[in-house]
Structure 1
């Protein structure tokens, strides 16, 4: 029988050290695996699962291609809901058309920025609404865009001008109307307006007042207008129709609505006719604001309160 091998003391120490190192390695490996699992759980909690999948699975080329395709589609449309980027929205077609139209137009609208701002403040409160405009001009698309979702109607005396505008802007709603007056008749027509027949509130089509316009399309009379802009007919020379009847009729339609009030705007009040007729038939008591050449009147319904005087 062979005797047991006797290990030197130094060799025993080396074996003990190796065992301790092995034990330490196993403990550290266990701790590292636990920490990695916790980190993975934390990442899953912070980031959506689809993002983790796309970043941690490089082995599948198809998955990467699908992820890239999805990202490209998202960037061209709207950002995904899980990101913090605000959702994208489209501007209205009427506003888009207006931006392009005025960006390429070399003609400045007749009203100034401050004058337009008077009507804009009212439209911001009332639109979408019913907006009647006497006159078809370079600012017509602007009024339609500012009243997006509402109905904006234009009344124009020049038939050839309507055809020209409609070729460029076919979506504008406009009607041809005629006037049988002249600026030189303004004083005579002011006397007519002072008669009692012109103080009676009613449908202009059935009014006995000589200032009431009766030749508009029937729907112009049937609609209750929230805003009326008087910027026509032509009134800058003696043979022009003048705005005497337009101003009176605008005031009559405002008074004849069943309830509520109508905001009436008159442009070019630096001229004698617009100045006198607006103060007389829209009433200084209803005047709310004047900016440059435009006046803003707010006229309440006279049918809602019987006995209300023509002017306050």
Structure 2
């Protein structure tokens, strides 16, 4: 209710007291504002969830497509190896298919990524690196310029050069010296980095002496002449590295190529031992499996039968 009082041109409106009691205008405005904010928040949440779902779906689709695309692309090292062997299939220097398969089968036996040591940079270098794609493959060569060239041309190759001090013409003398020191400087289990054994390689990168090698291939150094280094030091070093493994699988596969040559055959029988010979493929590739050996006195030794190498 309202009462109007007229006084000349002026009107005075009086509100009845009960109207003032109907509610606080500020409170009504607050309720309205909160309602609008709640509706806006709800709409925003719905939109955001739909947008996030769409974005997530798109991202997942892209990742899945990228993985499938990556799986369809061969690693560069494998592609290089395929191209190399497609171009050089007629080379007479390649290892035979039978011998390559033996080494490949040994690499497959690794329960974890293989540590593969190769003495010699050969026509099979790219192949060995590709077959051991998920492991570590290290190449040792006597030619520092060729090792540098291979690393520059093929960045995935890890190669080091080493200086050999032995000579093929000194084979008998070196074997005699080894036998005299086989329980001392030339013992079968040791860190060659600190050894003075004449036929041991002690100038490799330090880290290589600490690795547990699963497979070792001796296909170098080159040398068919009396003054050439031959495989004496490489085979001895392979035998020590194989027997000096720490932890894990203590067995190491050691392959010696060109086993038909006297220096490789004599060195293999002396340092790797006939008792460990698994197979000799047409006298070109010998396959040994090595682990630590103790004699009856608990001393470490190369061969159980000491007379076998000289027989």
TM-score (norm 2): 0.68
Deviation >4 Å, runs of 4+: none
Match of 2:218 in 1: 230
Give the deviation of 1:180 after TM superposition.
1.4
Counterpart of 2:187 in structure 1 is 199
Deviations 1:197-222 (A, max 9, x none): 23352111223432211111111111
Give the Cα separation in 2 of the matches to 1:131 and 1:200: 20
Give the direction of change, closer, same or farther, for the CA distance of 1:208–1:176 in structure 2 (3 Å limit): closer
Q: In 1, distance between residues paired with 2:94 and 2:76?
A: 24
Separation (CA, whole Å) in 2 of partners of 1:145 and 1:270: 27
User: Is 1:287 the equivalent of 2:277?
Assistant: yes
Match of 2:257 among 256, 259, 267: 267
Q: For 1:145 and 1:277, how far apart are their aligned partners in 2? A: 29
> Could you tell which deviates more after superposition, 92-101 or 128-137?
92-101
Decide which structure has greater helix share.
1
Q: Distance in 2 between matches of 1:207 and 1:257?
A: 17
TM-aligned CA deviation for residue 263 of structure 1: 0.7
Change (3 A) 1:187 1:208: same
Gaps of 5+ in 1: 1-76, 81-87
Looking at structure 2, the residues matched to 92 and 261 of structure 1 have their Cα atoms a distance apart, in angstroms, of 29
Separation (CA, whole Å) in 2 of partners of 1:140 and 1:274: 20
- Relative distance call for 1:190 and 1:149 in structure 2 (3 A) is same
**1:310 counterpart (298, 302, 307):** 302
Q: What is the aligned residue count?
A: 230
2:232 and 2:197 map into 1 onto residues whose CA distance is 13
Query: Once the 2 structures are TM-superposed, how far is the Cα of residue 128 of structure 1 from its aligned partner?
Result: 2.6
TM-score using structure 1 length = 0.67
Matches of 1:187 and 1:123, distance apart in 2: 34
Structure 2 residue 198 is the aligned partner of structure 1 residue 210: yes
Gaps of 5+ in 2: 1-64, 305-311
